[in-house]
């Protein structure tokens, strides 16, 4: 893809952002679509987030994706919020329409579409154990509630954030049963009674962020384990441990592809090339596998 005077810009705001596969995947998609758009990583400190958003508008960016840890804070800087972001109060996609910034959230739909690729689940009879209460956890829990989930147990380090999420869920989904426990309360019994387990924390993302210390002994064939974390080299250790126990597993890549495709549709109105996006990521993986 050649950048020239009429190239339009889209960024991804995050910190860290160097791990992100979105630039590779989204640029491959724009290339295949024949669009003169460049997608760039933008590392933004939390204190500079508002300035960065103002910059997107000033520099006529077509829009942006937003990743860890800015998804919740960035909602306050939007001119308008789509229903997907209004319920979650978390934004992962910004669309700039003639200087007006509208926030969307495509993570929840991306999660459900990716999950459907590995397993058909009757959400009304499946108890969900959700690790984390940040932006991704909000999107996933709202999407699961929309799909008819009857019980979601939230495991979070800080109780305040878990309570905030529970109050959102209670407001919009009064028939959903929500519970909150601390990571120390997660024992074999808890694992056994929840059949869908979702890691929506960054644990497992880097060597200094070790995988969730879930007691995995009670994981079995009847579990479905989703790790939203994706690592360039393949499976996270949480996913690998769950797979060893016979559980059906999903890593973060499927969700990454589907949430990214939905964002491309919002920016361009065009159908994204899902297979090209998947191949772009797979090629990166095989390059890493070849490294000494
Ligand atoms: P976020 O808003 O910053 O929330 C992070 C959550 O993880 C919070 O609940 C936080 O707990 C918890 N957490 C952070 N560090 C922790 C630690 N050391 N020990 C225990 N808990 C910890 O982040 P996010 O945007 O939700 O993203 C979470 C993860 O999901 C990231 O790895 C991100 O890359 C991934 N993700 C993947 C996709 C995809 O497409 N695959 C999409 C979205 C997100 P406290 O409240 O206690 O701080």
Q: What is the pLDDT of residues 182-220, one digit of tens each?
A: 998 998 899 999 999 999 998 887 654 456 667 788 899
State the pTM of this model.
Answer: 0.91
For ligand 1, atom 3, name the residue with the nearest CA.
Answer: 69
Residue range 98-136, pLDDT digits in tens: 999 999 999 999 999 999 999 999 999 999 999 999 989
Give the pLDDT band (50/70/90) at residue 35: very high
Q: Please state, as a whole number, how many other Cβ atoms lie within 10 Å of the Cβ of residue 115.
A: 25
Pocket test for ligand 1, best of 84, 200, 277, 278 (most atoms within 8 A of CB): 200
212 lines ligand 1 (CB under 6 A): no
Mean pLDDT for the stretch of residues 26-52:
98
Residue 199 CB less than 6 A away from ligand 1: no
Distance from Cα 228 to the centre of ligand 1, integer Å: 9
Full strand arrangement of the beta sheet holding 128-131: 177-181, 151-155, 128-131, 196-199, 224-227, 248-250
List pLDDT tens digits, range 209-255: 456 667 788 899 999 999 999 887 678 888 988 999 999 999 999 99
Whether ligand 1 lies within 6 angstroms of the CB of 135 is answered as yes
> Would you state the pLDDT for residue 82?
96
CB 151 within 8 A of CB 122: no
Going through the chain in order, the beta strands assigned E by DSSP cover 8-14, 37-43, 63-66, 80-81, 93-97, 100-104, 128-131, 151-155, 177-181, 196-199, 224-227, 248-250
Give the number of the atom of ligand 1 that is nearest the alpha carbon of residue 258.
40
Indicate if ligand 1 lies below 6 Å from the C-beta of 114: no
**Would the CB of 93 count as within 6 Å of ligand 1?**
no
b/e for 172-198, b at 16 or more Cβ within 10 A?
ebeebebebbeeeebeeebbeebbbbb
Strand, coil or helix: what is 171?
A: helix
The predicted structure's pLDDT at residue 291: 38
* C-alpha 146 – ligand 1 centre gap (Å): 21
């Amino acid at each position: 893809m050649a950048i020239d005077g009429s190239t339009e810009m889209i960024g991804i705001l995050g910190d860290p952002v160097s791990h992100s596969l979105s630039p590779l995947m989204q640029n491959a998609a724009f290339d295949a679509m024949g669009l003169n758009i460049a997608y760039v990583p933008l590392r933004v400190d939390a204190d500079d987030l508002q300035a960065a958003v103002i910059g997107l508008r000033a520099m006529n960016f077509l829009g942006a994706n937003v990743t860890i840890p800015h998804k919740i804070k960035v909602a306050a800087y939007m001119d308008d919020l789509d229903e997907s972001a209004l319920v979650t109060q978390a934004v992962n996609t910004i669309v700039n329409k003639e200087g007006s910034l509208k926030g969307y959230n495509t993570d929840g739909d991306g999660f459900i579409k990716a999950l459907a690729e590995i397993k058909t689940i009757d959400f009304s009879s499946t108890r969900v154990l959700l690790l984390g209460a940040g932006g991704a956890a909000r999107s996933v829990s709202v999407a699961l509630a929309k799909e008819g989930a009857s019980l979601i147990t939230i495991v979070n380090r800080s109780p305040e954030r878990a309570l905030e999420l529970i109050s959102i869920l209670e407001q919009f989904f009064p028939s959903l049963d929500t519970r909150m426990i601390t990571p120390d309360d997660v024992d074999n019994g808890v694992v056994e009674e929840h059949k869908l387990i979702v890691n929506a924390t960054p644990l497992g993302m880097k060597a200094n962020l070790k995988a969730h210390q879930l007691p995995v002994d009670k994981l079995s064939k009847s579990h479905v384990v989703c790790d939203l974390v994706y690592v360039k080299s393949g499976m996270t250790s949480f996913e690998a441990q769950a797979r060893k126990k016979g559980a059906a597993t999903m890593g973060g890549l499927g969700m990454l592809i589907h949430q990214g495709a939905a964002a491309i549709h919002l920016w361009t109105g065009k159908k994204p090339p899902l297979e090209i996006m998947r191949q772009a990521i797979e090629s990166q993986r095989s390059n890493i596998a070849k490294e000494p």
